Chains A and B, each alone.
Chain A
Amino acid sequence: MSRRRSRIDVQEEDTELNMTPMLDVVFILLIFFIVTTVFVKPAGIEPTKPFADEDKEWNPTILIAVNEIDEIWIADQPYEVNEIRPILQSMKDETPEATAIIIGDREASSGVIWEIQDMVQDLEIQTRVSTK
């Protein structure tokens, strides 16, 4: 009786899969995604970007979009120029190394873009103006 049981045990042990290599791969994937993930809140709109040749790649964490009627969109919410300073300030406090991008519509007012640019610069956030 006891002999038989022990033989079954041995068989079960043999059919068990070796998980270790898969675990290794899964861990490497996990670490890759943790390291590369930046939590970017989408602006909420996609303006028609102006065209430029001399643009450089930029990986922002704060997206500020301006549409053709000069509404400023941050994290799915529309704002006016005079409302966004505290929002940007809190985003800066959250992640001090935050970088921003101003995604202005082709037909947005130049003045609004500059007001945002000056404000962001005043908060010491590195920023660029998005082009395609």
Chain B
Amino acid sequence: MRKARRKLGDDDSGVDMTPMLDIVFIMLIFFIVTATFLNETGLDFTRPADGGGQSSGDPKPVIPVYVDEQSLCSVEGFPRECTEVDIAVEGHLANKPGATVLIRVHYAADHYVQVMLKDRFTKRNLKTKFEVVGKSG
């Protein structure tokens, strides 16, 4: 008699899991559906924080590269194919060791040119500095 009652009590204390299971499933489905797995890749165009002219004593040599509004490139004032800018800069680097590449980009120049230049100079471990010129209205 006593044994039987205890058994009955055990059964009753078993919590009904069904409502919790329903909620858990709904949450699971929600998170599966909303999960977006984006795989973006990118280049770091972050400008270095202003060093406050820490090397103002000896101005670093600079190799100027210009990209005009028609997305045409020039190095030190001489027109160059944009795909050959890095080779031209490499040549100038012999005269100006440790130089920074100053890339002046016209406001209306196509975006892919600066990405290509940044990519190539990153590959060659050259420091680049970007400047935007000629803001149009």
> For residue B32, which residues in chain A have a CB less than 8 angstroms away from its CB?
33
B115-135 contacts to A (CB < 8 Å)? 115-116, 118-119, 122-123, 130, 132, 135
A54 near B42 (CB under 8 angstroms)? no
Q: Is the C-beta of B110 less than 8 angstroms from some C-beta in chain A? A: yes
Closest Cβ of chain A to B114, distance in Å, is 5
Q: How far apart are the CA atoms of A107 and B11 in the complex, in Å?
A: 71
Q: How far apart are the CA atoms of A38 and B46 in the complex, in Å?
A: 24
- The count of chain B contact residues (Cβ–Cβ below 8 Å) is 43
Provide the main secondary structure of the chain B interface.
Answer: mixed
Q: Is the C-beta of B47 less than 8 angstroms from some C-beta in chain A? A: yes
Q: Is the C-beta of B94 less than 8 angstroms from some C-beta in chain A? A: no
Q: Is the C-beta of A83 less than 8 angstroms from some C-beta in chain B? A: no
Among A58, A103, A109, A115, residue most surrounded by chain B Cβ atoms (within 10 Å): A109
> For residue B21, which residues in chain A have a CB less than 8 angstroms away from its CB?
19, 23, 26
> For residue A96, which residues in chain B have a CB less than 8 angstroms away from its CB?
none
Q: Is the C-beta of A77 less than 8 angstroms from some C-beta in chain B? A: no
Q: How far apart are the CA atoms of A55 and B42 in the complex, in Å?
A: 5
> For residue B123, which residues in chain A have a CB less than 8 angstroms away from its CB?
53-54
Provide the main secondary structure of the chain A interface.
Answer: mixed
Closest Cβ of chain A to B85, distance in Å, is 15
> For residue A59, which residues in chain B have a CB less than 8 angstroms away from its CB?
38, 40
A7-34 contacts to B (CB < 8 Å)? 13, 19, 23, 26-27, 29-30, 33-34
Q: Which residues of B contact A (CB under 8 A)?
A: 11, 17, 21, 24-25, 27-28, 31-32, 34-36, 38-47, 67, 105-116, 118-119, 122-123, 130, 132, 135-136
Q: Which residues of A contact B (CB under 8 A)?
A: 13, 19, 23, 26-27, 29-30, 33-34, 36-40, 42, 50-60, 66, 101-115, 117-118, 121, 126-132
Closest Cβ of chain A to B48, distance in Å, is 10
Q: Provided the pairs A30-B24, A121-B47 are in contact, do residues A23 and B40 lie with their beta carbons within 8 angstroms?
A: no
Among A102, A105, A131, residue most surrounded by chain B Cβ atoms (within 10 Å): A131
